[in-house]
Amino acid sequence: MIMDGQSSCRLPGQTRPDLTADSNYPARPEHSGRLAAGGLVLCAVVLGGAVVLCSGSAWAQGEIGFDPYQSSHSSPLQPLTLYDASQDTVQWLGGNPHWPSSPTESPGMHRWQALPTDTIYPFYLGDVKASRLSAIYSGGEDQMLDATLGGRFGLLRYNRGRTGPFLHGAQLDVEGSAQLRLSPSDNMDFQSVDFRAGVPLSFGFGRLHTRLGYYHLSSHVGDEFLLKRPRFNRLNFSRDVLYAGAGYWLTPQTRVYGESGWAFYNDISEEWEFMFGLERAPRFGTGVWGGLFYAVHAHLREELDYSGHFTGQIGWAWRRDERSGVLRIGLNYFNGKSPQYSFFREHEQQLGLGLWYDF
């Protein structure tokens, strides 16, 4: 077969028909050339597409092992699961960990842990006698700077898992602090200090958590204060206390609590004291933006005929993750008998700015 420039076909030895002799087929050599070129382009496109499809199919089979045209290796249909409660997870407060919503007590979590960095029973935010790092400045005529230098340190924990963010287990801690008062309006004189040391043992049962423990507290007046007030009647206020408390997490961030203490040795002070309150603070990583905290706390003491003091706090808090400490800054309101037990009969009302770090 021979192809000439007019896109006509003939066998060898056959003459080309004269299309001009037929009035139905007028001679248009320019149109015939265009048709021939278009046919060649169409053939090239079809062949190129076939190559692309073949190569794409080979790539799909090589990369993902799936051939849509191969029916001999098809897998049976799997039942559709709309919801599986066992796989349900909740991300608390934007933190990194995803806590399971059902209790998890895997064998790997039943273990002893030395020197835990977090705690099962956090200290009360509004408790001015708790061991932490803090500074509270109160203005007015009698300016005061109350500072606490100390903290809580974990010794040993037995883990029994957790329900969501709520821990199960037991933990032994130690705590200690020096709780001092300076007078900015009087050349920053050192007025008094209360020393505290204790051993709390806490238990976690999910939302419910309890603690038992012992602490010693003794009060001392500063030398500068005594030199300027030689007639001041110094009191040897001290107590050794056994206490029991319980808290309940209303949410992963908010809890209510109550506690009672009994002094088996006391000087000036009496035996019984009671504390209760409500507080809210971040328990997981906050990032740089932080989160809201607030606390209301009441402390009643027998030597004051079961009056005492009230503390209210509100502000902003930050923490790195669920095992780190909490940095807080905010307003502090105090109303009641002095938190410095060398002046335990004096009534004070304070409104100031506070900075706290809770271990």
Q: Which two tokens stand for residue 95?
A: 């933190």
pLDDT in tens, 321-341: 999 999 999 999 999 999 999
Indicate the pTM of the whole model.
0.71
> Smallest Cα–Cα separation from 134: which of 148, 151, 153, 145?
148
pLDDT, position 275: 98
Q: Are strands 291-301 and 272-280 parallel, antiparallel or unpaired?
A: antiparallel
Dump pLDDT digits (tens) for 96-148: 344 554 456 555 566 999 999 999 999 999 999 999 999 999 987 789 999 99
23-46 pLDDT tens trace: 443 444 444 444 344 444 444 444
Considering only CA atoms, which of 200, 333, 218, 179 is closest in space to residue 261?
200
Q: Burial-class residue 81 by CB neighbours within 10 Å (0-12, 13-18, 19+).
A: exposed
Alpha carbon of 228 to those of 191, 223, 224, 231: distances in Å? 10, 9, 6, 9
Give mean pLDDT, residues 203-215: 98
- Total Cβ atoms within 10 A of residue 318: 19
Fold of 112-358: Outer membrane phospholipase (ompla); Chain C (2.40.230)
Q: Which of 206, 205, 180 is nearest to 193 (CA)?
A: 180
- Write the CA distances from 244 to 99, 109, 121, 131, 203, integer angstroms: 29, 27, 12, 17, 11
Q: What percent helix, strand, coil does the chain show, rounded to 5?
A: 20, 50, 35
Which residues does 127 contact at the CB level (< 8 Å), separation at least 6? 275, 277, 297, 299, 311
CB atoms within 10 A of CB 194: 22
Q: Positive or negative CA dihedral for 55, 57, 58, 59?
A: positive
Q: How far is CA 262 from CA 10, 265, 269, 272, in A?
A: 120, 9, 11, 5
Torsion angle in degrees (nearest 10) through CA of 312, 297, 216, 346: 60
Average pLDDT over residues 344-357: 96
Q: Give the model's pLDDT for residue 12.
A: 46
pLDDT above 70 as % of the chain: 69
Task: Tell me what the mean pLDDT of segment 222-244 comes to.
Answer: 93
Residue 154 structure tokens: 């974990």
Kindly report, residue by residue over 180-194, the tens digit of the pLDDT.
Answer: 999 998 889 999 999
Q: CA 38 to CA 5: how far, in whole Å?
A: 14
Give the helix/strand (H/E) hosting 56: helix 29-64
Least Cα distance to 358 among 113, 130, 93 occurs for 130
CA distance 259 to 248: 12
Distances (CA, A) of 182 to 14, 148, 152, 221, 249: 123, 11, 23, 11, 36
What is the arithmetic mean of pLDDT over 331-359? 96
For residues 13 and 219, which has the higher predicted lDDT (pLDDT)? 219
